[in-house]
Structure 1
C-alpha cells in the first residue's frame, strides 16, 4: 500500500486517479512515500525517511527544498503546461485592461451614484469617455520573455490578435522551439527584446539566474511608455526598480499577478491577487498530471517533469525492476552491475540518465533479488537510494 500525504486542497479529479486498493491518500498520514501539494511551503518541514517523491500540482517549485530533496534522492515533480491556458487567458485580460482604460472607466462610473436620471448620465459619459480612450492591440509588438509551455501559447494568442511578436529565451529547448510559431522573431538578448516591444510579458521560472532579471539596468532598455506584464513569479521583477521606472516615465504601465505594498494606489499599476492558475480547469489538470506522474514513478520508476532528476522511462520487460539514484560520479553503475553479476542476477534491460550532480538508473532483472543483494547495492559508494518494484 502506497501512502500519499496531501497538502492544500487537491482537486477530486486528481485524487480519484489513485486506486484505493493500492493507495492510502490523506492529509494526515504516517510514513508517506510521496507528497502531493499545491503551494504549501515545505522548507521547514522535517523530511521523512520514507519519502521518495514530491509532486507539485503547478509549475513553480519555490515552495520546495529542492537541494535537500536531491541530496536525499527524492524526486520532485511539477506540472508544466497544465495551467498554461488559464495563465494565457489572464495575460490576454491584462493586455486588454492595460490598453483600453477599462478599469479606470469602470471605477469612474461607480462614482456617479448621485445622478438619478439615465439620460443625464448618458450625456455626461459621452462628454467624459475621452478620458479613458486607449489603443488597439492590432499591429503592436508583444515581447515574450520565456518561450516554454505558457510563453509559446501567449505568442500564438498575440499572433491571432494580429500583433507582432518577438521572443527571448536563453534556455529554449528543442521541444519548445518546434512548438513555437515561425512568425515569432527571436531576439538575441533581453535588452534587444525590451527595446522592440510595446508590451512585454514575462514567462520564466523563479531561479537564482532569473531573480530580478527585470531591474534598474534592464528597464533602461525599454521602449518609452511600454507596458510590462508579469504573470510568472514575483521574484523575477525588482518592484522598487519598476516603481522608479514608472515615476521616471520610462515604463508606462505595470500589470502583474503579485501585489506588493509599493505598487498599491497607483493609476499606472494593475495588480491582481495571484489568480493566474485559479480556474477549476487548471486545478483539475494540475492535480491529474501530478497524480499520474507520481503513479508512473511509484509503479514503474519512470520520471517525467522532474525539476531535479533527469527525464527517464523504460517499458516493463517482465521480471522485477530495480531503480537507484546516485551521485553523478564515474564507476557507480559498473559497481552495481558487478553486485548483480556476483549474485547471479540476470539483467534483462536497463537505462541510465544523469542531470547535473545526480544520476538515476532503471534495471529490469529476471527475478526478484534477495534482500542481501539490495543491501549490497545500497552500500555501494555514492548510491543515494534504492527501490525494488515488483
Structure 2
C-alpha cells in the first residue's frame, strides 16, 4: 500500500512517521508532498493506492475523477472538516473517505481563549511597546471577563470545551445550536441566534462550514450584535463574510475581531509569503485595524493534537485495508455516511 500525503510540513512527516514506526510498521509506504492537492498537482498521486489531504487541499469533482482514474480509492483527511471534498462525487465513484472528527478539542478551545484575552487586553501591542521602552498604558484598556456574556455558536466538542473554560472565568455562557446537546446545559443556556448576538459581549464560532452556515456572520447578523462586541472564529473561514466585518469594524459596531481562519486562506495559509506582495486586498485591509488579530489556522497545533491526528489517520487506513467498518467514514463502499447539506451546527 502506497500513501501520498499532500500539504505535508515537517511536523506532518515527524508525527505520521513516528506513529507508523511505533504502531503501524507494515501498513504502508508514505510519500510526502509539500504541495497542496489541486488539479495542477494531482498527477503527483499517480501510482499511489491512497492519498492523505488537509484543510486547504482541493478534492472537487475533477480531482476526484483523476484520482479514481489512477486507481486510488481511499481518501484520508487529517482534519475534522470536509467542506473541501465533493462527497456526492466520491460516493458516485465508490471511494472511501474518512476524517479525524476529534483531535484535542481543548487545544482549539484554549486557543480561542488566547485570542479573546489578547484582543481584550492588547498583550500583543503591549509586548511590542515595552520592547521599545514605552510603558504608557494609553490604548490598552480592556474589560473584566468575569460577569460578561459569551455566546458560543455550535456546542460540539470544541464549543463545549470553550463553554467549560469561560464558565470557569465567571462568564455567563449562552449557546446557539439547533441540534442541542444536553451536556452543555450544565454550563449555560440555549437561546436563538438573534438573542445570542444581542446579548453577547463575545461571540465565538464553533460550527462546520456547510451551505447552511456559510456567511452565518454577515451584514444582517453583525447588525444584531451588541455594539462593540468581540467576534472570534477558530472554525472555518467561510463562516464570516469578510467585507461585512470590515464595514462593521469601521463603524464601531464590531469592537474587535480575532480570526484563526479566513475565507480565502487556501492560497496563503501554511506557507511563507513574507518576501512577496500579498494581493488579497480584504485580508490586508483587515490587518490594518488595531483591534483585529489574524493567525494562520494554528488553533489545532499542539503536540497532543498532531499525535492524535496521525494515529487516527493511519487507523482509518488500516480499517480500509482490512475492510473493517470505519467509524470515521464519510463515504464508505459507495454510500454517503453524512448529509453535508444538513449537517448540524456543531464541531
The Cα shift of 1:139 comes to: 1.2
Given the two structures, how large is their TM-score scaled by the length of structure 2?
Answer: 0.78
**Helix, strand or coil: the match of 1:48?**
helix
Query: What secondary structure does 2:97 align onto?
Result: strand
Count of residues in correspondence between the two structures? 298
2:81 to 37, 60, 84: 60
Counterpart contact for 2:93–2:334, Cα < 8 Å: no
The CA deviation at 1:24 is 3.3
**Residue in 2 aligned with 1:374?**
none
Q: Distance in 2 between matches of 1:62 and 1:355?
A: 12
1:148 aligns to 2:156 (yes or no): yes
> What CA RMSD, in Å, does the superposition of the two structures yield over aligned residues?
2.5
Task: State the SS of the aligned residue for 1:307.
Answer: strand
Is 1:274 the counterpart of 2:278 in the alignment?
Answer: no
Structure 1: how far apart are the matches of 2:194 and 2:321? 44
Q: Which runs of 5 or more structure 2 residues have no equivalent in the other structure? A: 33-43, 263-282, 341-347
In structure 1, the residue matched to 2:4 is 5
CA contact (8 A) 1:18 1:291 kept: no
Q: Could you tell which deviates more after superposition, 141-150 or 62-71?
A: 62-71
Equivalent position of 1:41 in the other structure: 58
- Deviation string 1:274-317 (CA, Å, 9 cap, x unpaired) is 211222322221111121122123314312123345xxxxxxxx
Q: 3-state SS of the aligned residue for 2:296?
A: coil
Taking the TM superposition and a 5 Å limit, the aligned residue runs for 1:200-219 are 200-219=203-222
Tell me the secondary structure at the aligned position of residue 214 of structure 1: coil
1:219 and 1:251 in contact (8 A); partners too: yes
Higher relative contact order (CA 8 A, sep 6+): 2
**Alpha-carbon distance between aligned partners in 2 of 1:302 and 1:146, rounded to the nearest angstrom:** 28
* Equivalent residue runs for 1:9-28 within 5 Å: 9=9, 10=12, 11=15, 12-16=17-21, 19-27=24-32
Counterpart CA distance in 2 for 1:54 and 1:179 is: 33
State the Cα deviation string for residues 19-63 of structure 1 (Å, max 9, x = none): 444533334775444222324333353223433321111122233
> Is 2:48–2:72's contact at 8 Å kept on the other side of the alignment?
yes
Separation in 2, partners of 1:53, 1:258: 27
- Aligned pairs for 1:219-298 within 5 A: 219-258=222-261, 260-298=283-321
Counterpart contact for 2:149–2:200, Cα < 8 Å: yes
Moved more, 11-20 or 228-237: 11-20
CA distance in 2, matches of 1:58, 1:356: 18
| Larger CA Rg, structure 1 vs 2 | 1
Gaps of 5+ in 1: 113-120, 310-323, 328-353, 358-390
Shift in CA distance, 136/355, structure 1 to aligned 2, threshold 3 Å:
closer
- In the alignment, the residues of structure 1 paired with residue 176 and residue 115 of structure 2 have an alpha-carbon distance, to the nearest angstrom, of 20
CA distance in 1, matches of 2:200, 2:86: 36
Give the Cα separation in 2 of the matches to 1:307 and 1:164: 36
